[in-house]
Amino acid sequence: MSRLLRAAICLALLAALMAGLIYEVTWHPARHERMPVSCNAKDAAPPTLVPGQALKVMTWNIQYLAGKRYVFWYDMADGSGPDERPTPEDIAYNLDEVARVLRDEQPDIVLLQEVDDGAKNTDYVNQLALLQERVTDLYPCSTEAFYWKSDFVPDSHIYGSVGTKLATLSRFQIDKAERLQLPSPDGNLIGRQFEPKRALLVSYLPLSNGKHLAVVNTHLGDFKPGDDTVQRQVAATTQLLNAFEHAGTPWISGGDFNLLPQGQYQRLPAGQREHYAPDSELHTLWDKYPMIPSNEDVNGDEPRKWYTRFPNDPRVSGPDRTQDYLFYSPALKRIDAQVRQADTLLISDHLPVIARFLLPAGQ
């Protein structure tokens, strides 16, 4: 056997070994998965929704309980943020703060994003389990789904495991839940194995008339010039909501969409626009379905009260944009809505969006 052939065989074996190792430490979810639902009520079964009733819903990206005392490496466009992780003390404090807000607002359904579990930079803690210990009397039912998971990420700022989940908490019964994979960037075959795999977490809450309310929780990806991934993710979300409408299933969809409402791009300083397209991809959704905050809200007399994002960026002194929304079926009626800002500015780089609806009376 020639020396050249032996070298080629060795390289092939090494490449196969590396590919196997990468596959072993990374995560490969199915495109459609049934997710476990936990409903633990001590005294009685959780109540069932009734057609025509009022329902209070909150969506909140809790930023893995990191808080506002940091500028993380990813907070700056050039990756120059000096901080890599929050302290255990800050995580514990912000956990109590999230629980405080939930107890004060007592929404019926809570949609959370960026909930860590098994991540090196947050000490491998299951943050949802810790939160549930504090609010279990309010939310007997829950479901969850990872959208970033790896035993090892070879990024110098991480150099260890990651684990980030969507979580839905409910005062009412949840019959079933599913995770639906969203489109991912095409990108580099190896690099994309370590990246988030965005998804929709869909929960089905029974109604007393035999139907269900579908509740969709999500956190879409970041905009990148020349990449249509976010556009495809919005299209996939819209397709699901269209299917619910066609089937006559009432629904609510919420989360961190990472996209601006109409007209807000032009009002941001030039240095803050790099993560957004001038024409928001979100128009695919708002053209068809009502949105909170609506374009009328954010372009009205008091646009600041509808800002949901306060970046950990030293150039930004307060909330200055909207990225988090609740969409809902036209069969539901909006009663009222707000972004809770006054006492949540230091808990996360996102602020909770809260709305009350009337469910359709139905038959």
pLDDT at site 205? 98
pLDDT at site 17? 65
Cα atoms in the Cβ-side hemisphere of radius 13 Å centred on 267: 13
In tens digits, the chain (363 residues) has pLDDT values of 677 777 766 777 676 666 666 667 778 899 999 999 999 866 678 999 999 999 999 999 999 999 999 999 999 988 899 999 999 999 999 999 999 999 999 999 999 999 999 999 999 999 999 999 999 999 999 999 999 999 999 989 999 999 999 999 999 999 999 999 999 988 777 777 889 999 999 999 999 999 999 999 999 998 888 889 999 999 999 999 999 999 999 999 999 999 999 999 999 999 899 889 999 999 999 999 999 999 999 999 999 999 999 999 999 999 999 999 999 999 999 999 999 999 999 999 999 999 999 999 965
Domain-located, residue 228: yes
pLDDT at site 6? 73
What total of structural domains would you count in the chain? 1
Q: For residues 7 and 9, give the distance between their C-alpha atoms in angstroms, rounded to a whole number.
A: 5
Helix (H/G/I), strand (E/B), else coil: 32? strand
Helix axes 88-105, 127-135, angle to 10 degrees: 40
Q: For residues 86 and 108, give the distance between their C-alpha atoms in angstroms, rounded to a whole number.
A: 30
Domain-located, residue 321: yes
Domain-located, residue 41: yes
What letters, b where the CB count within 10 A reaches 16 and e where it falls short, cover 103-121?
A: eeeebbbbbbbbbbbbbbb
Amino acid found at 60: W
Question: 11 burial class (0-12, 13-18, 19+ CB within 10 angstroms)?
Answer: exposed
Domain-located, residue 190: yes
Domain-located, residue 5: no
pLDDT at site 120? 97
Q: DSSP letters along 196-255, please?
A: ---EEEEEEEEBTTS-EEEEEEEE-----TT--HHHHHHHHHHHHHHHHHHHT--EEEEE
Q: For residues 146 and 133, give the distance between their C-alpha atoms in angstroms, rounded to a whole number.
A: 20
Kindly state the tokens that stand for 63. 């930023």
Helix (H/G/I), strand (E/B), else coil: 142? strand
Domain-located, residue 20: no
CATH number for position 82? 3.60.10.10
Domain-located, residue 186: yes
207 — phi, psi (to 5°)? -105, 155
The domain in which residue 249 lies consists of 30-358
Q: For residues 136 and 72, give the distance between their C-alpha atoms in angstroms, rounded to a whole number.
A: 32
Cα pseudo-dihedral 233, 234, 236, 240, rounded to 10: 140
Sign of the C-alpha dihedral computed for residues 200, 242, 286 and 174 taken in this order: negative
Pairing status of strand 32-35 against strand 54-61 = unpaired
* Cβ pair 37, 90 in contact under 8 A: no
Cα–Cα distances (Å) from 306 to 265, 275, 337, 341, in that order, read 15, 19, 10, 9
Domain-located, residue 17: no
Local structure of residue 73 (DSSP, 8 states): G
293 preceded by a cis bond (ω within 30 of 0): yes
pLDDT at site 190? 73
